[in-house]
């Protein structure tokens, strides 16, 4: 660690003065500017020493994805996050190791930390708890007192979508969300559903018959829009849980002879790279997937390299990208 002599040399004062300032000696007759400079230099030098000492480590980072490569192709949202994680690890010169849920703690002893991304049931979290190393979750926050996490601000995102649709004159607003059963039998529910209900209920616009649930894949966006149409419960605007499902809804609309946005307006979520190439280009809420992947590596560094002990939850704001899939009814 930095010595008092180091601080004194850089501050241009005596060792005794530095010692008395750092020990809060109130009898010391020194200017406030001098005291402030000494504290700032002490902190600066300590940071530099920590960095120089610990930056030499080449970290070995585990990555656990709760979805399969096939599922990743069905929902490119996770593909974008995975690529961002891997590019950041490569840039930093860190070693990457894929981790499986059934890996035993003793097989992970060589890992400095693990990044987990995807959706997680309680049973999965119990298995992850046994790994006993620094862990960062992306798109999940299972235990804010034990793990770092990076999540999107769903309340802000859904409110922005609903406000935009209402501003465009829509009062019949529906949602295709996610409610699926995971491999172990546990149910996964779309966290945005409650945000959606609350946003519409405070406006007196919520109708459950405009809401459908499926898995996060295009075929469910396709099937559920057709269900709404068959039941005669077609809203004028539809918020779809992700852009892949929105693409499925597009295909269903065309097969039903519905024009987007003239007959049905559609808003997606995530802003995957293909969203702007859909016909018409999809209005969607952008979640900054690349940033989330990169920042997960940074959070892991803070825990491992710099010894941060306090867990943090990073909430990433989203942004609505208005394109051509929503009709203004006013």
* Distance, CA of 290 to CA of 149 (rounded, Å): 15
Q: 173 near 235, Cβ under 8 Å? A: yes
What is the distance between the alpha carbons of residues 137 and 115, in angstroms, rounded to a whole number?
A: 6
Q: Reply yes or no on whether the pLDDT at 53 is more than 60.
A: no
In the structure encoding, which two tokens stand for residue 71, read together?
């599922």
Distance CA 140, CA 203 (A): 29
pTM of structure: 0.80
The pLDDT assigned to 182 comes to 60
Over residues 20-50, the pLDDT tens digits come to 887 777 778 788 888 888 878 877 776 454 4
Alpha carbon 25 to its chain centroid, in Å, reads: 47
Structure tokens at 44: 């600066």
pLDDT (average), residues 230-239: 96
Following DSSP, what letter does each residue of 119-166 receive, concatenated?
Answer: ---HHHHHHHHTT-S-EEEES--S-TTT-EEEEE-HHHHHHHHHHHHH
Kindly state the tokens that stand for 219.
């075929």
Enumerate residues 6+ apart whose C-beta is below 8 A from 311.
144, 145, 146, 147, 148
Q: What is the pLDDT of residues 154-211, one digit of tens each?
A: 999 999 999 999 999 999 999 999 876 665 566 666 788 899 999 999 999 999 999 9
Token digits of residue 290: 């690349």
């Amino acid at each position: 660690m930095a010595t008092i002599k180091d601080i004194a040399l850089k501050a241009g004062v005596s060792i005794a003065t530095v010692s008395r300032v750092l020990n809060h000696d109130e009898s010391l007759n020194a200017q406030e500017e001098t005291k402030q400079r000494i504290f700032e230099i002490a902190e600066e030098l300590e940071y530099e020493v920590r960095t120089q000492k610990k930056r030499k480590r080449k970290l070995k980072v585990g990555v656990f994805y709760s979805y399969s490569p096939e599922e990743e192709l069905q929902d490119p949202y996770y593909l974008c996050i995975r690529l961002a994680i891997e590019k950041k690890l490569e840039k930093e010169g860190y070693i990457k190791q894929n981790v499986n849920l059934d890996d035993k703690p003793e097989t992970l002893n060589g890992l400095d930390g693990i990044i987990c991304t995807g959706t997680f049931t309680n049973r999965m979290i119990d298995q992850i708890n046994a790994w006993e190393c620094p862990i960062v979750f992306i798109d999940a926050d299972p235990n804010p007192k034990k793990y770092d996490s990076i999540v999107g601000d769903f309340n802000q995102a859904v409110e922005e979508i609903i406000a935009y649709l209402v501003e465009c004159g829509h009062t019949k607003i529906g949602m295709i969300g996610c409610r699926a059963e995971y491999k172990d039998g546990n149910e996964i529910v779309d966290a945005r559903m409650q945000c959606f209900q609350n946003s519409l209920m405070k406006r007196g616009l919520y109708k459950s018959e405009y809401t459908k649930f499926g898995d996060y894949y295009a075929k469910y966006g396709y099937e559920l829009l057709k269900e709404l149409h068959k039941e005669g419960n077609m809203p004028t605007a539809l918020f779809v849980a992700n852009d892949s499902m929105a693409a499925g809804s597009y295909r269903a609309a065309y097969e039903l002879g519905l024009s987007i946005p003239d007959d049905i307006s559609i808003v997606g979520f995530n802003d995957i790279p293909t969203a702007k190439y859909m016909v018409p280009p999809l209005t969607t809420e952008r979640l900054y997937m690349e940033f989330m992947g990169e920042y997960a590596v940074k959070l892991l560094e803070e825990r491992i390299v710099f010894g941060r002990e306090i867990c943090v939850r990073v909430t990433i704001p989203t942004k609505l990208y208005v394109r051509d899939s929503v009709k203004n009814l006013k």
